[in-house]
Chains A and B, each alone.
Chain A
């Protein structure tokens, strides 16, 4: 007689960064460790952990190429390895979910290591790195700038990752969408889109020092300019964590009321505009190279405008802020108002049909991804309270089925269609064509292969008008 007493979800055990080429001499091994979380454990343990990871990496190298070592599963933990730059390794160690059961009166812990999807957490790890790189540049460049002073570098890294780890403690709800690093665009009518686009272009044309201009509405991108999707994702994450958060008010959901957050920016103004202090520097690829740029953030109502200036120029003067503000202030306010009006109209329209037939948990779910633009379209509610709409094993399965969006080079992958039935009676239908992946998730224990095919076809036809991925 077994009884489930408690379930503990995935937790972060440790996260560390090291570079084996530092601290080669014996007794200086601690220099290899550039960062270790949690910090309050014995140095020896840290050195031991890093040493173990080094050993595993070196061992696997015997069989595979240099950075093919991706994950290590033990009974209680899952370790993920990521080498973003030669020599620098990021390691994420997770405690796997644990179920404590009572078996004949004795408490037994059962570890559910298979519930941890490597690919999802691997991309979480990758995201850590990209966010770091976005703000500080590559580790290599950092090390060079500090003349290889590992202690200084470690200090810098620690400063950054302590913050990141603090905000990302909750690892459990990570899912396929975290993995995709997808970017959500604001669905605008073509007239408004063109207006927003041309506004950004005109601003850059008027102030030639502005290299790029990205517009966001709440947490959605209005126009992304020429920023690569990786940079755009990092920028998006930065804005979400630092700018929108700091202005209180939850703006995660599109439907959230624009209260509080935008009050301070009724008339528009620069965020973090401290006179006589150079603005934030970020590393983005604008002209083929990853280069530092000043990032100026301007907010008005719900619109956030990110302006990039090549950091080779002198930091912008106070007058520059004033000039830009005077030039675009009123235009942007009216644009922001029009966008807000259209968005609220869309929300009303979207709410109307769903309220009539409430979507139950067993209704079909879908997820469409454009590998090129990293845009997704889904009805999977990620932040649903209480019971998850889609079980973890299905999520993990999709994550395993999903093709890495970053691996786009050359011709399109072959068209494919897959149907998978899970042990808990879920069906997953995957289609892939023209750099797009489509997933339909059905829950029906009695369905036959034919039923599933037809149901999937119906959803594809309903949601994919013209067989083209529309940016909904």
Chain B
């Protein structure tokens, strides 16, 4: 185990375990996976009960009487106000709490005639008892010191398993050994279609079944050996059929034999193998071999051990003492989804993924992308991987890989963009706007701004940047996402940098870049590089009808007449500022142009104010003087043409 310190590990225990009193002659330890609370019960509760979880600092401690009979199970209600304790096989006691202290005088004992296998809280005041005859929901009424039956389902049961995240109990029926999932919610018990085990006579042991949630669906994981090879496999039945009917969708090939335990971490299925002290990672969203609509998966990478954990022991010396914990110990108990408890050591950990080392282990970049896109912490890792691909790992032959990665990222991005768009458009007409819940964004959402800032910007001005950007643009276009400002600007600068004017021209004519005044002005700013750019800039301005900018450009180029013509057509006669045009005409030092412009405004004055003279507000005095001095005859002798 120590040899593995330097090896790469893809799974680790949380660095700050929840510590509790280890199991001993006096202390019993219980874990409630619904509330993720660990109960250390000393002397049957008489000398104290310490409840910790789900974090180290959430602690409740109290004392209660040892009322005879060892505690079999102990669980708080979700609001920590009622404690349910089972000491006998046919009775459950409910202890009401005031604050953090039990009201020991008001214990409600609920006795039944059946054999209780266990109980779960489904609501603050409702508790479901699962016994050999069925499932029954009771309502606890502390004020009346009474328990009332709310709902019951009669079915004879061998054993059961509970998945707190999905509120589903999996019952193994006594008759026929069927596995029946039952949805247990407040006041409701719904029996779901049974799990198809293939072979009718097949009997599944309780220890071979794990319940978990993967990608939003409840999963029944059944360990079994392959009939031909004898190697162990995990059957994955997902409750995602019609009416939550379970379907056998996946088989995880372990290619090992021995004892296994299963966790789920970040939608990955982790299968721990005790004999080799390794854990195998499976992702059912990745592709695999498909036979009869069932996907057969191999582990993502060869099995590796959990990262070694050094536990800092309380010590007086400042450097402390580090205890290397034994991994895959026989004292380990695993709970769903990702809880590891070492009862002997008194530690409770959560399992976490080491995304960064996984990035190094998965050499297939496309598969890695698919993998990271499903991980809650995948975004930064994926961006980092991509950054390496376009930077120091860049090769021309990598372009097809990049293209595929872009497509995978943008497929998710597009679904989000379109969902948001739908929400925006549906909002006003939707009457029950309060009920329309905000859709949750995808697990990993990499938008074009992320790509621009983190991937493209660092490789700006490199010879291949244009090629990569064009690939990205193609991918965006494939999913009908319009390029935004930052990306458009960067594409433009790379195209200009590489003098790919023809491509630029075509992108603008296809409207594949953002069309805005700011982009057009960005183009204009580069028009000194090549005239092709100014043509493209003007095209874009005219597409977005930004006539006022075109007029400014024309005035700047001394094309006063052209500008005036455009102004007349776009602004309307009466809104043209005379001073601006006269000033520009004056600057050209071309008297013909000045004369034409001046006459144009005189005619306008005549139409608008019924006089040739300019209104004072237009501040044209200097130009009137210039006109009169340049064309002295013109203003006195000739009558207005009308």
Contacts and interface: CB of A to CB of B under 8 A. Distances in A.
Interface of A: 190-191, 193-195, 197-198, 201-202, 204-208, 223-226, 370, 372-373, 408-412, 414-415, 433-436, 466-471
Given A190-B510, A467-B542, A226 B499 contact: yes
B448 interface: no
B562 A433 contact: yes
A225 B495 CA distance: 11
A470 B511 CA distance: 11
Contacts of A408: 531
A470 B509 contact: yes
Contact of B559 (A208, A225, A414, A470): A414
Interface in B386-400: 396-397, 399-400
B430 interface: no
B505 interface: yes
B505 A195 contact: no
B93 interface: no
A411 B557 contact: yes
Contacts of B471: 198, 201-202
Contact of A471 (B470, B509, B538): B509
B505 A197 contact: no
17 contacts: A191-B474, A193-B506, A195-B474, A201-B471, A206-B397, A208-B396, A223-B502, A225-B500, A226-B499, A370-B535, A412-B534, A414-B559, A433-B562, A435-B535, A468-B543, A469-B539, A470-B509
Contacts of B512: 190, 194
A206 B506 CA distance: 24
Given A197-B503, A466-B542, A372 B509 contact: no
A414 B535 CA distance: 13
A189 to B, nearest CB: 8
Contact of A194 (B396, B470, B534): B470
Given A202-B400, A205-B464, A191 B470 contact: no
A224 B535 contact: no
Given A194-B477, A414-B559, A466 B531 contact: no
A434 B561 CA distance: 14
B571 interface: no
Given A205-B399, A226-B499, A414-B561, 6 more contacts: A194-B477, A202-B396, A223-B502, A370-B535, A372-B532, A468-B539
Contacts of A411: 531, 557
* Residue in A434, A436, A469, A471 whose Cβ sees the most chain B Cβ within 10 Å: A434
4 smallest A-B Cβ distances: which pairs? A205-B396, A194-B474, A190-B510, A415-B562
Nearest to B464: A205
Interface string B521-549: 00000000001101100110011000000
Nearest to B510: A190
A193 B478 CA distance: 12
B403 interface: yes
B498 interface: yes
A468 B559 CA distance: 19
A208 to B, nearest CB: 6
B123 to A, nearest CB: 54
Nearest to A411: B557
A430 to B, nearest CB: 15
A194 B466 CA distance: 13
B116 interface: no
B565 interface: yes
A372 B506 contact: no
A205 B467 contact: yes
Nearest to B565: A415
A309 to B, nearest CB: 15
B284 interface: no
A223 B498 CA distance: 16
Contacts of A198: 403, 467, 470-471, 474
* Residue in A194, A408, A471 whose Cβ sees the most chain B Cβ within 10 Å: A194
B512 to A, nearest CB: 6
Interface in B55-101: none
A66 B512 CA distance: 47
B473 interface: yes
A343 B95 CA distance: 79
Given A194-B470, A372-B505, A434 B538 contact: yes
A434 B473 contact: no
B467 A201 contact: yes
Contacts of B478: 191
Nearest to A227: B502
Contacts of B559: 414-415
A410 B531 contact: yes
A27 B129 CA distance: 124
Contacts of A197: 470, 474, 503
Contacts of A468: 509, 539, 542-543
A191 B481 CA distance: 12
A468 B544 CA distance: 11
Nearest to B397: A206
B119 to A, nearest CB: 60
Contacts of B565: 415
* Residue in A225, A373, A436 whose Cβ sees the most chain B Cβ within 10 Å: A373
A434 B396 contact: no
Contacts of B503: 197, 223
Contact of B505 (A191, A202, A373): A373
A191 B510 CA distance: 10
B539 A434 contact: yes
Contacts of B474: 191, 194-195, 197-198
Given A191-B478, A201-B470, A224 B502 contact: yes
A373 B467 contact: no
A193 B502 CA distance: 12
A404 B542 CA distance: 25
Contacts of B557: 411-412
Nearest to B508: A468
A223 B512 CA distance: 16
B506 A191 contact: no
Contacts of B400: 202
Contacts of B396: 202, 204-208
A205 to B, nearest CB: 3
A414 B557 CA distance: 10
A202 B512 CA distance: 20
A224 B500 CA distance: 10
A116 to B, nearest CB: 32
A191 B474 CA distance: 7
Nearest to B538: A434
A468 B399 CA distance: 34
B543 A373 contact: no
* Residue in A206, A408, A468 whose Cβ sees the most chain B Cβ within 10 Å: A468
Contacts of A224: 502
A436 B532 CA distance: 11
